[in-house]
């Protein structure tokens, strides 16, 4: 009980910190724990883009940006604490990079009127903006990913009668695609085999033994963190053909394939944005951020897949902030205005080129009804000798005929559980 | 001088056997309670309640529960996380199956269900002891987490396997769900924490508690003097699991609102609660509070000092926290095995004699 006095002092300190007039972008990052390998590059990319905006353009619309970093360790309790600690500072949009934390924050952010952007993760049915007013998951979601993988396999040949295994992280994240894949397996007549891997996934001998025994034609993986490396290593150990092994975008970074060395050659992963550092914006990052000594973290992640994804997330957030500034005619926007900006966001090829990212991602519009974007999925492949990922297909449409009813169903059940009246 | 018992006479037996026989202690206790009930709700903010007070109050209940089993009865348990999960899932099933019943009773019932499960897993303790029992409870931990992940009935067949707490009210005021007021959740948990502490304190002072302690100190001797080990061990498991279940239910329903079992109630949770009672003090109710407060507040303070004041990178601070907590546990085990509670007792002894120690 004697600690209460101490907490008062802490609270007084928190209250006394000055409120600066800048655009606050909290970054609930994780640079520690079993998922740090994925968390670090994303957080670096996110921070570097805002540093670039400050250094090159003087912020967004003349207002400096500030990235407020808070370490969550991929832990939901710390995520909630980070949210409560940062929301009072005028935080404009949350990007927790964790499906677990997303589930915590969906009701909280909605109650507090702060938007949340879960790019390619989180609750897939948040694509239905009529129910999830403050949650956005453009440009693509898990179910687009599942359908994209199946579409890709169909483009390679007939899949009827084939056996496809799903190796998934046994959590809300990994379970997301199961329903979609089940529907798709009915529609296209392939056999689905489910293989769960428990957190954190360092031990997968029995799972891969099962795969070796059952010999699925293809393996799709929904993994994250250390689970990816182990899975690819185990696949190599049982000599599973890498070109039949497809990871979701969270299982397709350099960190995942490098430990397996040459054995990982040919491994495929889905993506919803471009790969590599062959874009004009990286010259600016080198000039304004790296050479100025302001790169986030160790500065050694630039151009990696997850760094690019962090950069992309930051770019979409900055563009939404610009849109919000235009709509409301003020440079100093509030979280409510930011939400309007995200809902009116338009990404065109011309805009991307202007930002130095030509062809980096698809063009799309967000609307009140559709917070999920178009869901265009591309495929990348790892070249172990060159040490690079390369895009091997166009960004193509996914099977919304299957996905949309599932989104409607899941969001309707959320709405009824929480007494939300759907509408725009 | 400040802390003395001179002139503090007991004239009746009830006076002599009350929880705080020394007047100064008693008044301090009343003041703390009055501040907690009458003052704190008015200064509560979302940040304070969610990062400090709710976790503190809820972990304190779990620590009291584990302390009864490990500190008082001497049965080492690594299954706390699993039992908290039982409380959480029981509460979820009850909340969704009987939406008209008050959440207060759901939490109590969740504790009762956990007590039954705990007793079941306590049965091996009649045959195995020490490390082997720790391993058996570890099995309970992994089995329960696996069960809640595997059987979709427990999470009402939701696609993600998550459980979400629906909105529930007490006297018309929301205590679960996203639209709660900070003071409401604080008071709701405070009621349970104070109730648990009073209950535990009186159980451990009575004949049941003495049986537990006899078993802890030497089970064969206890059996010879007439303590029934079956009854003593199983009541310890049941009471302990009840508290742990209540804390798990509150942890899910009031604090987090959405839970994924493997992530929230994993083995790390069991160790965290175990560290709380080791640092706070085995076999002490005050120690449970002190340990919970210490391990909840320490990371928050380290973060505020490291990140907000000194401007260090967040990952360095997070790593430092592991180093400091680990160092503290080793330090306590070597220097003060009885934890913060013993430091408090020693301080009181010193104050009693001060300023004339001889």
Three-state SS annotation for chain B? CCCCCCCCCCCCHHHHCCCCCCHHHHHHHHHHHHHHHHHHHHHCCHHHHHHHHHHHHHHHHHHHHHHHHHHHCCCCCCCHHHHHHHHHHHHHHHHHHCCCCCHHHHHHHHHHHHHHHHHHHHHHHHCCCHHHHHHHHHHHHHHHHHHHHHCHHHHCCCCCCCEECCCCEECCEECCCCCCCHHHHHHHHHHHHHHHHHHHHHHHHCHHHHHHHHHHHCHHHHHHCCCCHHHHHHHHHHHHHHHHHHHHHHHHHHHHCEECHHHHCCHHHHHHHHHHHHHHCCCCHHHHHHHHHHHHHHHHHHHHHHHHHCCCCHHHHHHHHHHHHHHHHHHHHHHCCCHHHHHHHHHHHHHHHCCCCC
Q: Which residues of B touch A14 (CB under 8 A)?
A: 47, 304, 308
Q: Which residues of B touch A198 (CB under 8 A)?
A: 146, 149, 262
From the list A57, A70, A58, A55, the residue with the least C-alpha distance to A25 is: A70
Distances (CA, A) of B184 to A71, B252, B254, B282: 28, 16, 10, 31
- Residues of chain A within CATH 3.40.50.2300 domain(s) are 23-141+277-377, 143-275+378-404
Q: A372 CB near a chain B CB, below 8 Å?
A: no
pLDDT at B2 over 70: no
Q: Which residues of B touch A7 (CB under 8 A)?
A: 48, 52, 297
Identity of the residue in A87, A108, A417 whose CB atom sits nearest the CB atom of B166: A417
155-184 in A: which are within 8 Å (CB) of B? Answer: 170-172, 175-176, 178-179
DSSP A20: -
CB B88 within 8 A of CB B163: yes
CATH for the A143-275+378-404 domain, from 3.40.50.670, 3.40.50.2300, 3.40.309.10, 3.40.50.920: 3.40.50.2300
263-302 in A: which are within 8 Å (CB) of B? Answer: 297
The model's pLDDT over B191-212, given as tens digits with 9 standing for 90+, comes to: 999 999 999 999 999 999 999 9
Using DSSP bridges, classify how beta strands A245-247 and A268-271 pair: parallel, antiparallel or unpaired: parallel
Q: Is there a contact between B257 and A104 if contact means CB atoms under 8 Å apart?
A: yes
In this predicted structure, what is the pLDDT of residue A17? 45
Q: Is there a contact between A17 and B293 if contact means CB atoms under 8 Å apart?
A: no
Q: Is there a contact between B315 and A71 if contact means CB atoms under 8 Å apart?
A: yes
CA distance B292 to B60: 5
Cα B212 to chain center, whole Å? 18
Long-range contacts of B177-184 (CB under 8 A, 24+ apart): B177/A107, B177/A418, B177/B257, B178/A107, B178/A108, B178/A110, B178/A111, B178/B257, B179/A111, B180/B254, B182/B44, B182/B45, B182/B46, B182/B48, B182/B49, B182/B50, B183/B41, B183/B42, B183/B44, B183/B49
CB A140 within 8 A of CB A118: no
Using DSSP bridges, classify how beta strands A163-169 and A191-197 pair: parallel, antiparallel or unpaired: parallel
Q: Is there a contact between B160 and A172 if contact means CB atoms under 8 Å apart?
A: yes
Distances (CA, A) of A111 to A104, A108, A128: 12, 5, 18
CA-CA-CA-CA dihedral for A256, A258, A263, A266, to nearest 10? 70
Q: Is there a contact between A71 and B319 if contact means CB atoms under 8 Å apart?
A: no
Distance, in angstroms, between B161 CA and closest chain A CA?
A: 6
Using DSSP bridges, classify how beta strands B258-259 and B163-164 pair: parallel, antiparallel or unpaired: antiparallel
Q: Is there a contact between A76 and B303 if contact means CB atoms under 8 Å apart?
A: no
CB A41 within 8 A of CB A253: yes
* DSSP-assigned beta bridge partners for residue A164: A192, A218
Distance, in angstroms, between B233 CA and closest chain A CA?
A: 31
Q: In what order do the strands lie in the sheet with A388-391?
A: A191-197, A163-169, A218-222, A245-247, A268-271, A378-383, A388-391
User: Residue A23, SS3?
Assistant: strand
Distance, in angstroms, between B46 CA and closest chain A CA?
A: 7
From the list B122, B111, B109, the residue with the least C-alpha distance to B79 is: B122
- Paired tokens of A39: 């968390």
CB A311 within 8 A of CB A48: yes
CA distance A156 to A122: 30
Q: Which residue of B has its CA nearest to A10?
A: B301
Band (pLDDT 50/70/90 cuts) for residue B155 is confident
CB B239 within 8 A of CB B81: no
Q: Which residues of B touch A71 (CB under 8 A)?
A: 303, 307, 314-315, 317-318
φ, ψ for residue A242 (rounded to 5)? -60, -35
Identity of the residue in A11, A80, A176 whose CB atom sits nearest the CB atom of B256: A80
CA-CA-CA-CA dihedral for B274, B280, B285, B290, to nearest 10? -120
In Å, the largest CA–CA distance within chain B is 70
**Pairs of residues, one from chain A and one from chain B, whose beta carbons lie less than 8 Å apart:** 127
Q: Which residue of A has its CA nearest to B344?
A: A2
CA distance A174 to A145: 12
Using DSSP bridges, classify how beta strands B173-174 and A218-222 pair: parallel, antiparallel or unpaired: unpaired
Q: Is there a contact between A175 and B160 if contact means CB atoms under 8 Å apart?
A: yes
Q: Is there a contact between B178 and A111 if contact means CB atoms under 8 Å apart?
A: yes
Identity of the residue in B149, B294, B314 whose CB atom sits nearest the CB atom of A29: B314
In this predicted structure, what is the pLDDT of residue A361? 86
Percentage of chain B beyond pLDDT 90 is 47
User: Residue A91, SS3?
Assistant: strand
In this predicted structure, what is the pLDDT of residue B15? 84
44-103 in A: which are within 8 Å (CB) of B? Answer: 69-71, 73, 75-77, 80-81, 84-85, 87-88, 99-100, 103
Q: A134 CB near a chain B CB, below 8 Å?
A: no
Distance, in angstroms, between B50 CA and closest chain A CA?
A: 6
Polymer length in residues for chain A: 424
Band (pLDDT 50/70/90 cuts) for residue B1 is low
Distances (CA, A) of B177 to A93, A110, B254: 21, 12, 7
CB neighbours of B12 closer than 8 A, spacing ≥ 6? none
CA distance A142 to A375: 9
Q: Encode chain A (424 residues) as per-residue pLDDT tens digits.
A: 344 444 544 444 444 444 447 899 999 999 988 888 889 999 999 999 999 999 999 989 889 999 988 989 888 888 888 998 888 888 999 999 988 889 888 988 988 899 999 998 888 888 898 999 999 998 888 999 999 999 999 988 888 889 999 999 988 888 888 989 999 999 999 999 999 998 888 889 999 999 999 999 999 999 998 899 999 999 999 999 999 999 999 999 998 999 998 999 999 999 999 888 889 999 999 999 999 888 888 888 888 999 999 999 999 999 999 999 999 999 889 999 999 999 999 999 999 999 999 888 888 889 888 898 888 899 999 999 988 999 998 888 888 888 899 888 888 888 887 888 888 7
The model's pLDDT over B35-91, given as tens digits with 9 standing for 90+, comes to: 998 998 888 888 888 889 999 999 999 999 999 999 999 899 999 999 999 999 999
CA distance B88 to B114: 9
Q: A104 CB near a chain B CB, below 8 Å?
A: yes
CB A424 within 8 A of CB A406: no
CB A126 within 8 A of CB A136: yes
Q: Is there a contact between A84 and B167 if contact means CB atoms under 8 Å apart?
A: no
Classify domain A23-141+277-377 at the CATH topology level.
Answer: Rossmann fold (3.40.50)
Q: Which of A122, A172, A200, A299 to substitute to test the interface with B, most B CBs within 10 Å?
A: A172
Q: Is there a contact between A71 and B159 if contact means CB atoms under 8 Å apart?
A: no
In this predicted structure, what is the pLDDT of residue A12? 46
CA distance A46 to B53: 32
Distance, in angstroms, between A383 CA and closest chain B CA?
A: 32
The secondary structure element, H or E, covering residue A391 is strand A388-391
Q: Which residues of A touch B293 (CB under 8 A)?
A: 1, 3
In this predicted structure, what is the pLDDT of residue A1? 38
pTM of the model: 0.88
From the list B126, B144, B4, B6, the residue with the least C-alpha distance to B79 is: B144
392-411 in A: which are within 8 Å (CB) of B? Answer: 410
Residue A421, CB half-sphere, CA atoms under 13 Å: how many? 2
Q: Which residue of A has its CA nearest to B48?
A: A11
């Amino acid at each position: 009980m004697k600690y209460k006095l101490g907490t008062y002092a802490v609270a007084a300190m928190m209250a006394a910190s000055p409120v600066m007039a800048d655009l606050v972008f909290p970054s609930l990052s994780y640079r520690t724990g079993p998922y740090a390998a994925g968390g670090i590059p994303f957080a670096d990319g996110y921070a570097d883009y805002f540093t670039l905006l400050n250094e090159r353009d003087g912020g967004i619309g003349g207002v400096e940006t500030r990235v407020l970093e808070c370490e969550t360790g991929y832990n939901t309790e710390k995520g909630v604490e980070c949210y409560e600690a940062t929301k009072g500072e005028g935080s404009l949009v949350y990007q927790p990079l964790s499906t677990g934390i997303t589930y915590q924050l969906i009701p909280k952010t909605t109650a507090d009127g702060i938007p949340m952007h879960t790019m390619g993760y989180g609750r897939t049915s948040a694509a239905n903006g009529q129910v999830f007013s403050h949650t956005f998951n453009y440009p693509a979601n898990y179910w687009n990913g599942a359908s994209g993988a199946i579409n890709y396999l169909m483009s390679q040949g007939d899949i009827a009668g084939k056996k496809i295994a799903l190796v998934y992280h046994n959590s809300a994240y990994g379970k997301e695609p199961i329903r979609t894949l089940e529907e798709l397996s009915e529609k296209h007549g392939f056999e689905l085999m489910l293989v769960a891997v428990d957190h954190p996934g360092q031990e997968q001998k029995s799972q891969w033994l099962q795969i070796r025994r059952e010999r699925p034609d293809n393996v799709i993986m929904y993994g994250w963190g250390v689970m990816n490396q182990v899975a690819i290593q185990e696949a190599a150990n049982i000599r599973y053909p890498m070109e039949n092994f497809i990871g979701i975008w969270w299982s397709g970074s350099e960190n995942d394939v490098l430990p397996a060395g040459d054995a990982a050659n040919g491994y495929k992963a889905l993506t919803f944005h471009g790969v590599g550092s062959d874009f004009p914006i990286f010259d600016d990052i080198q000039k304004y951020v790296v050479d100025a000594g302001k790169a986030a973290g160790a500065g050694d992640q630039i151009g990696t897949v997850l760094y690019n994804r962090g950069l992309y997330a930051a770019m979409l957030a900055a563009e939404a902030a610009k849109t919000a500034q235009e709509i409301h005619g003020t440079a100093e926007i509030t979280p409510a205005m930011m939400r309007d900006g995200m809902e009116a966001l338009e990404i065109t090829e011309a805009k991307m080129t202007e930002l130095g990212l030509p062809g980096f991602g698809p063009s799309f519009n967000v609307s009140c009804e559709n917070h999920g974007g178009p869901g265009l999925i591309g495929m990348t492949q790892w070249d172990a000798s060159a040490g690079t990922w390369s895009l091997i297909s166009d960004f193509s449409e996914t099977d919304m005929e299957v996905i949309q009813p599932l989104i409607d169903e899941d969001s309707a059940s959320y709405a009824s559980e929480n007494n939300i009246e759907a509408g725009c | 001088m400040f802390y003395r018992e001179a002139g503090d006479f007991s004239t009746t037996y009830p006076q002599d056997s009350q929880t705080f026989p020394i007047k100064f202690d008693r008044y301090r206790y009343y003041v703390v309670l009055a501040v907690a009930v009458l003052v704190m709700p008015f200064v509560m903010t979302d940040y304070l309640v969610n990062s400090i007070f709710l976790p503190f109050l809820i972990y304190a209940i779990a620590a009291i529960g584990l302390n009864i089993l490990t500190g008082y009865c001497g049965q080492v348990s690594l299954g706390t996380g699993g039992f908290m999960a039982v409380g959480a899932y029981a509460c979820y099933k009850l909340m969704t199956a009987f939406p008209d019943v008050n959440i207060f009773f759901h939490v109590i019932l969740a504790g009762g269900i956990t007590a039954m499960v705990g007793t079941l897993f306590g049965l091996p303790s009649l045959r195995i002891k020490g490390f082997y029992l720790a391993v058996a409870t570890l099995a309970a931990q992994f089995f329960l987490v696996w069960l809640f992940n595997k059987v979709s009935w427990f999470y009402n067949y939701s696609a993600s396997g998550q459980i979400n707490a629906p909105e529930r009210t007490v006297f018309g005021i929301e205590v679960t769900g996203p639209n709660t007021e900070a003071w409401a959740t604080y008071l709701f948990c405070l009621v349970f924490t104070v109730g648990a502490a009073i209950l535990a304190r009186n159980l451990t002072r009575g004949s049941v508690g003495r049986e537990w302690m006899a078993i802890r100190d030497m089970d064969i001797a206890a059996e010879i003097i007439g303590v029934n080990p079956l009854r003593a061990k199983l009541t310890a498991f049941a009471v302990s699991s009840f508290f742990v279940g209540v804390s798990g239910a509150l942890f899910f329903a009031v604090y987090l609102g959405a839970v994924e079992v493997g992530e929230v109630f994993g083995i790390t949770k069991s160790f965290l609660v175990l560290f709380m009672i080791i640092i706070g003090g085995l076999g002490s109710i005050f120690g449970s509070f002190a340990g919970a407060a210490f391990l909840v507040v320490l990371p928050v303070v380290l973060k505020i000092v490291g990140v907000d004041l000194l401007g260090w990178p967040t990952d360095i601070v997070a790593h430092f926290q592991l180093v400091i907590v680990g160092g503290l546990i080793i330090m306590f085990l070597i220097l003060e095995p009885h934890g913060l509670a013993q430091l408090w007792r020693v301080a009181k002894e010193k104050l009693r004699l001060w300023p004339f120690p001889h």
